[in-house]
Amino acid sequence: MSTSSTQPQNEPEYVALVAIDWADKKHVWSLEVTATNRRECGSIAHTPEAVEAWVTSLHSRFGERPIGIAVEQSRGALLYMLTKYAQLHLYPIHPRTAAQFRAALFPSGAKDDPQDADLLLDLLIHHRSRLHRLEPDTEQTRTLQMLVEERRRMVNEKTRQSNRLTDKLKLYFPQVLNWFNDVDSELVGAFLERWPTLDALQRARPRTLHKFFRQHNCRSEQRIQERVEQSRKAIPATHDQAVIRSAVATVSVLVRLIQTLRDGIAALDEEIRQLAITHPDFSIFDSLPGAGKVMVPRLIAAMGSCRERFSSAQEIQSYVGIAPVLQRSGKTQCTHFRWACPKFLRQTFHEWAGHSIAWSSWAKTHYQRLRARGKAHHAAVRALAFKWIRILFRCWKDRKPYDAARYENTLRRREPSAPESASHPQLVWKNCAGFFKLTQLPS
């Protein structure tokens, strides 16, 4: 098969095609000159200077004509090094695609870096129509994408450390878990730094405890008094000093670590907020019900700014993992949850759809009908997200904020005979591939 036979539309004529099998210290590359179909191979050290010298050699050899490059990563140091060269057109290849392509050709499981580079080059040459060329978004949008993902990682890390703190407190000071709702709060951190053990707490005067809680914005005198009285009646969980001393030392570290993460998340929140409110699409996403200060930046990052990236809502639904997967073989057919997808993006749309139930009357009605039909909570939320993505796609494409009244009026115009009702009784939800679509009742 020739290169031109699978050349996608609107793609330049590449003077050469290259595939790079990246590694930590050294990358192996395989190159084919389009005019001669002659292959070459080599390696590059993983340094900016080595990559610069390699690209310079390509430029001196082929001039400024475009070169297609396949890389087995969508993000990473090597990819970022290559994006600054306009001559290079990058094609990220999913690691699973490369691995299964290798397994199909080499069932023995043999693996070698030069061989992998050749396989990536075969993918680029013969199956380029199935690959997507990297089209970087605007700098502001890409910054926002990276910041919201890092924020999520920090939140997950704070949760992990909070769980560790909870486990340690259960060993020697479990009363703290009953006295406070959030073990990762600033109040609990300050409390444990001042009184790391029950013995130290019981030596403190009641007046000191009252003063401490008031200084940390505890306004309920009744709640303060309950904590003071319970601390006086509490019994130590253990007298084993080996357990207590080791746990206290660990708790001291965890409290400071959680405080650092909490401060870092707050700093990221402020930077994300400033970027989001100045984004050209902010008004579109800010109009969505249930999308607050956390979800608006995440939705902007999920959709991006490049309108040519998605041609239909179905592409977004499939890409982010909200649309189900159909498996059909012979007389057997089943629809199931989509596993291979960007998990953070799926979580973004799932969480937003869940929040919208409390802020949108039609979303609440849709969710309740799905639950009444036997759908589990998360399946119903995914079905709602499936519907929301269609609406969001239209708003995003047209660059217009969401108008709840306009959307509900559109539903009513589709059913002119429907009586005025909050739940539109003349409309029914038809099961389509595990999800429900609003359809008209037969007359």
Q: Are residues 123 and 62 in the same domain?
A: yes
Count of structural domains, the chain: 3
Same structural domain, 213 and 357:
no
Same domain for 288 and 435? yes
Average pLDDT in the 237-263 region? 96
259, pLDDT greater than 70? yes
Whether 216 and 249 share a structural domain: yes
Query: How many CB atoms lie under 10 A from the CB of residue 169?
Result: 20
> For residue 8, what pLDDT is reported?
59
Over residues 17-42, the mean pLDDT reads 90
DSSP letters for 126-177: HSGGGS-------HHHHHHHHHHHHHHHHHHHHHHHHHHHHHHHHHH-THHH
Q: What is the mean pLDDT of residues 83-91?
A: 90
- Let me know whether 111 and 234 are in one domain: no
Name the pLDDT band for 443 (thresholds 50, 70, 90): very low
Helix H or strand E encompassing 428: strand 427-432
Domain encompassing residue 328: 284-440
The answer to whether residues 255 and 327 belong to one domain is: no
Do residue 258 and residue 298 come from a single domain? Answer: no
Q: What is the CATH number of the domain that holds 98?
A: 3.30.420
Which of residues 240, 275, 310 is at a domain's end? 275
Residue 334 has pLDDT above 50, yes or no: yes
* Sole residue written with tokens 């009908």: 369
Output the CA torsion 323→325→330→332 (10° steps): -90
Give residues with Cβ within 8 angstroms of 245, minimum separation 6.
none
Co-location of 100 and 202 in the same domain = no
Task: Give 388: exposed, middle or buried? Use CB within 10 Å, 0-12, 13-18, 19+.
Answer: buried
Q: Are 115 and 166 in a shared domain?
A: no
- The domain that holds 201 is classified in CATH as 1.10.287.4070
Q: Does residue 270 share a domain with residue 180?
A: yes
pLDDT digits (tens, 9 = 90+) for 300-317: 999 999 888 888 999 999
* pLDDT tens-digit map of 385-412: 999 999 999 999 999 999 988 888 876 7
Q: Are 295 and 256 found together in one domain?
A: no
Overall average pLDDT of the 66-95 stretch = 88
Of the residues 275, 296, 312, the one at which a domain ends: 275
Is the per-residue pLDDT at 422 higher than 50? no
> Of 11-25, 108-122, 285-299, which range is least confident?
108-122
pTM: 0.79
335 — pLDDT class (breaks 50, 70, 90): confident
Domain boundary among 103, 134, 165: 134
Q: Are residues 117 and 177 in the same domain?
A: no
